[in-house]
Amino acid sequence: MRTSKITACLLALVMALLVAPAAKAQVTGLYYKEVEKDGRIYIFNTPERFKSFTASGGDMGTSVMLVNRGPNGETLVAENETAMDLYLFKHNLEAYERPTPKPASSGAAPYPATKIGGRVFADFSDKENKDKGKTGGAAKSSDSGVGVDVKRFYFTVNHDFDATWSAQFQSDIGDQGARRYDVFVKKAFIQAKLAPEAIFRLGSADTAWVPFVEGLYGYRYVETVITDHLSFGTSADWGLHFLGKAANDMIGYQISAENGKGYSNPTRTKTVDFEGRISFEPIKGFTLAAGGYTGKRGNDTDAVPALHTAQRTDALISYVDDHFRVGGEWFEAKNWNNVTTVATDKADGYSIWASFAATPTLSIFGRYDSAKPSKNLKPALEFTYYNAGLQFRLNKALATSIVYKMADVKGGTLGTSNGTIGSAVAGQKGEYNEIGLFALYDF
């Protein structure tokens, strides 16, 4: 029996000798400091904070404070929760209550990260595009009638390499008319986000004006904005793009050096075009913006040199909150379609819109457009458009609207996002009417 007790004591001594170095290493690596000053006890568990406290003459900075919790009623001021716990444990004081900390994360790094998504614009409608100067079957366009149409199908892949570098690819399947769909690369760019004020994109990316207006208008799935609708602008182009926001997001801006023919045609020519925008949001939801475009629109080649410079000037005013969207856009263009012709031309137009969300799921909306697309060469050519609808927001991914659209073109014919409208008969006009169910689906 005595031998067993001696053996047990020897084993316990050996275990203590083995554990002691590890325990000593743990204690050695822990920093702890208390400072009593002016009726308070300051507690530290990192040497950096203690040195900063000493150098500043007693400025603790961010801290945890417990009033009258010291052994003699002192106020305890700790560097952090860990320091406070160490003090209370050391002095055998009652622990203090605080919210239970959230479970630790899995530790997985946020980068690299890839996100895949899509967006669909579709409609089921009855439309009629009619030349009022003609009679019989020839009066209506070939795409008049009832049917289902997928106007746009975007497939998007975003990849974040790290907090600065990322890339985006977006394909665009669109209805190009004449009973055919085409597939384009709409966006394909590398992005360097150096700061919110300095973002660079190289490749095919959003242009400065059209996507900006679409975001404020809010009903792109129903209709394109006026500059895009009448082909006086495009939503993406190949080039180098610089954009950002400053002054607490009150000021936004973008300037792009672009090829000039849009995302579907990455043509190289002798010069690049420039497009820019600046916006100001003095109060939340209220936006003022101005923009401009200048260049040859990808038409300056050795074979066919440019004779004029295409220019466009833009202005916008908008207000958006949880219930209202109200805004207007104006543009003026010079030689937009006359870069290589001897003749010169001008165009201008405006668009106004409004919507009201009676509930989070139900909104009413409307829009009115007017334009003179060719003031010099076709001074009688006039374009008028309006729409009205009722939107049901079923969930974050799906919105549907019952919509009526009407457009008429006087003094000739005009290409629009809804096809060529107008009349080839002098003194007559063309009229476009459409009613149906329009849908937006994000996934």
Q: Report pLDDT digits (tens) over 52-97.
A: 888 888 888 888 988 888 888 888 999 998 889 999 988 888 888 7
Task: Specify the higher pLDDT residue, 99 or 164.
Answer: 164
- What pLDDT score was predicted for residue 176? 62
The DSSP letter of residue 93 is P
Residue closest to 218 by CA, chosen among 419, 433, 416, 401: 401
**Strand 40-44 relative to strand 75-78: parallel, antiparallel, unpaired?**
parallel
What pLDDT was estimated at residue 78?
92
Residue 259 has pLDDT above 50, yes or no: yes
335 pLDDT more than 60: yes
pLDDT at position 22 over 60:
no
**What local confidence, expressed as pLDDT, does residue 95 receive?**
85
pLDDT tier, 28 (very low <50, low <70, confident <90, very high otherwise): very low
**Least trusted range by pLDDT, from 172-176, 264-268, 347-351:** 172-176
Least confident of 17-21, 343-347, 438-442: 17-21
Which DSSP state fits 184? E
pLDDT in tens, 132-156: 888 776 688 888 999 999 999 999 9
CA atoms in the 13 A half-sphere facing the CB of 255: 4
Q: Distance (Å, rounded) from C-alpha 234 to C-alpha 287?
A: 21
CB 309 within 8 Å of CB 295? yes
pLDDT at 214: 97
The alpha carbon of residue 135 and the mean position of all alpha carbons in its chain are separated, in whole angstroms, by: 47
Rounded to 10 degrees, the C-alpha dihedral 42/47/49/52 comes to 100
- Give me the DSSP letters along 120-147: EEEEEEEEEEEETT--GGGGB-TT-EEE
Question: Could you report the per-residue pLDDT of 316-333, keeping only the tens digit for each?
Answer: 999 999 999 999 999 999
**DSSP code string of 196-227:** TTEEEEEEEEE-SSHHHHHHHH--TTT---HH
**Distance separating alpha carbons of residues 300 and 296, to the nearest angstrom:** 6
* Residue of 120, 125, 129, 119 whose CA lies nearest to 418: 129
**C-alpha to C-alpha distance for 129 and 22, rounded to whole angstroms:** 86
How far, in Å, are 29, 30, 62 from residue 54 at the CA level? Answer: 22, 20, 15
Q: Choose among 328, 408, 399: nearest CA to 366.
A: 328
Which residue ranges make up each domain of the chain?
Answer: 1-26, 31-96, 115-442
Tell me how far apart the alpha carbons of residues 415 and 437 are, in angstroms, rounded to a whole number: 24
Percent of the chain with pLDDT over 90: 70
Residue found under tokens 């994000």:
442
Per-residue confidence (pLDDT) for residue 57, from 0 to 100: 81
Nearest residue to 205 (alpha-carbon basis) of 176, 165, 155, 243: 243
| For range 234-252, the mean pLDDT | 97
Asked whether 188 and 168 are in contact (CB, 8 A), the reply is yes
pLDDT at residue number 337:
96
| C-alpha to C-alpha distances, 261 to 94, 122, 187, 285, 348, nearest whole angstrom | 73, 26, 14, 33, 20
Segment 300-317 shows an average pLDDT of: 95
At residue 279, the pLDDT reads 98
C-alpha of 188 from chain center: 16
Give the class (CATH, top level) of 115-442: mainly beta
Q: What is the pLDDT of residue 26?
A: 38
Scanning 166-303, the segments in alpha helix (DSSP H) are: 210-217, 226-229
Indicate the average pLDDT of the chain: 89
- Please state, in angstroms and rounded to a whole number, the distance separating the CA atoms of residues 134 and 442: 42
Gap between the Cα atoms of 372 and 159, Å rounded: 43
pLDDT top residue among 298 and 107: 298
Mean pLDDT, to the nearest integer, of 388-415? 96
pLDDT given for residue 101 in this prediction:
65
Contact 145, 126 (CB under 8 A): yes
- The HSE-up count of residue 94 (CA atoms within 13 Å, CB side) is 6
Query: How many C-beta atoms surround the C-beta of residue 188 within 10 A?
Result: 19
pTM of the predicted model over 0.85: no
Alpha carbon 247 to its chain's center: 18
